[in-house]
Amino acid sequence: MVAVVGRPNVGKSTFFNRVVGGRVAIVDDQPGVTRDRNFNKADWAGRHFFLVDTGGVIEGSDEPLDRAIREQAYMAVAEADAILFIVDGQAGVHPLDERLAEILRKSGPPVLLVVNKMDNMPKDQGHLDFWSLGMGDPMPVSAISGKGSGDLLDAMVANLPEIEEVEEDENTIRVAVVGKPNVGKSSFVNRLFGEERMVVSDVAGTTRDPVDTPLQYHGKTFVFVDTAGLRRQSKVKESVEYYSALRTAKVVREADVCLVLVDATEPLHVQDLRVAEQAWESGAGVILVANKWDLVEKDTWTAPAFEKAVKDRAPFLKWVPVVFTSALSGQRIRKPLDMILQVEDERNRRIGTAEVNEALAGILRHQPPPHTRGRRIKIRYGTQVSVAPPTFVFFANFPSALPEHYIRYVHNSLRDRWTFMGSPVRVRIREN
């Protein structure tokens, strides 16, 4: 584990993206963009390690968000096997660099002093000024161009402890935690893990980067991705929020299961519906998690009434399970984990061709396809061609003439027979 730390706007996330080989962390000229610890796997010279991007540390600030970001960064330092202390070579030695250097000297793991923004190496020797921090040999790099990064990474892996490499579990389930801002996504993940993995604040939109966090449960590896809250496009004004929304959309597309968190104290909003619909259309399994259930006044029919109100909002929600939890009190906090296993099983369920055609015969007996231009449409046979999500292909003589409502009837009939709880089902009609 290698922690990247430093004061705001010294180029930590740019360096992080350079090492991991992609735009994983959001980068912007505005300081304070990174707030949570952002983990990503990287490798250099045959050594695999996790690189941890942290928020900019403002030592001495009592602002609640600054304090939370600082605590997150220091937690990353405490967990690290090596630390990369990033400073700004163009700005020179800053008082915040000096304060942070004092703390890192006492931290324990080896610390490499990285002087970033040295774009004119070797002419520019400004990195030598940082000897005054007493952190050893300053290593000049340019995160934007990549200059000096090879020498730095050579020095870094030399300081890493030797550990036994473990093969990544092929049965890993990627779980995206999504929802509109401030419904308690980070609090929910923190409660699951029993520690403050994410910055939690009353300020909506605190999480901006998706953050991967693995969890072992019943022999499976869940990788939870706490994402930034998805807002309506008209509400996305800052460039940072725009890229954050794009990153969240990408996480949703890559997820196996999406936990869509909604606020149980409020009716289902249009934006909640759009978030769930985005996950459903991506092909991921979907579970609706009604958070803050401890704040709802309840009687015998409260939960069924909430579920009915949810499922009446959109046809696909009929197949989405609803779990009632409280991230604050921990009420039923493990229930979503069991539900993830069930939904992922349904998403990977495969139905034999003989069973599919037996079901098709019943569907056609109950409601034959309509005629087109005086000719009868015949659906001859079908098969399941893939899983995750389950996809069925049926062969007909006039597939383009089959009306949408009849395809919907076939789709719903398949679900009535096999349910596929929490998983989308695709139905395709081809010519034969």
pLDDT at residue 191 tops 50: yes
pLDDT value, residue 80:
84
User: What distance, in Å, lies between the first and last C-alpha atoms of the chain?
Assistant: 56
Amino acid at 126: G
For residues 162 and 255, what is the distance between their CA atoms, to the nearest angstrom? 32
pLDDT at residue 69 tops 80: no
- Architecture of the domain whose range is 353-431: 2-Layer Sandwich (3.30)
Name residue 381's beta-bridge partners.
Answer: 395
Percent of the chain with pLDDT over 70: 84
Could you tell me which CATH class the domain 173-347 is placed in? alpha beta
Token code pair at residue 67 = 């304090």
Task: List, as one string, the DSSP characters of 300-358.
Answer: TTHHHHHHHHHHTS-GGGGGS-EEE--TTT-TTTTHHHHHHHHHHHHHT----HHHHHH
Between 262 and 107, the higher pLDDT residue: 262
Amino acid at 7: R
pLDDT value, residue 192:
85
pLDDT in tens, 258-303: 999 999 999 888 888 888 898 899 899 999 999 999 999 888 889 9
pLDDT in tens, 8-38: 989 888 898 888 876 555 444 544 444 445 6
User: pLDDT-derived band of residue 93, with 50, 70 and 90 as boundaries?
Assistant: very high
pLDDT value, residue 242:
37
For residues 117 and 141, what is the distance between their CA atoms, to the nearest angstrom? 7
User: pLDDT-derived band of residue 336, with 50, 70 and 90 as boundaries?
Assistant: very high
Query: Residue for token digits 């046809």?
Result: 315
Per DSSP, 252 falls in state H
Token code pair at residue 411 = 């789709």
Asked if the domains 173-347 and 353-431 are classified in one and the same CATH topology, the answer is no
pLDDT value, residue 312:
92
What's the fold here for domain 2-158?
Rossmann fold (3.40.50)
Name the average pLDDT for the chain: 83
pLDDT value, residue 71:
78
pLDDT at residue 165 tops 80: no
Token code pair at residue 143 = 């995160």
pLDDT value, residue 197:
47
CB-CB contact of 287 with 315 (8 Å) = no
pLDDT in tens, 387-426: 999 999 999 999 999 999 999 999 999 999 999 999 999 9
Q: Once rounded to an integer, what is the mean pLDDT over residues 315-326?
A: 94
Query: Where in 120-172 does DSSP place strands (E)?
Result: 139-140
Domain edges within the chain: 2-158, 173-347, 353-431
pLDDT value, residue 308:
92
pLDDT value, residue 299:
85
Between 98 and 167, the higher pLDDT residue: 98
Amino acid at 219: G
Percent of the chain with pLDDT over 90: 45
pLDDT at residue 240 tops 50: no
Q: Once rounded to an integer, what is the mean pLDDT over residues 39-57?
A: 82
- pTM for the whole thing? 0.60
Q: Once rounded to an integer, what is the mean pLDDT over residues 242-260?
A: 72
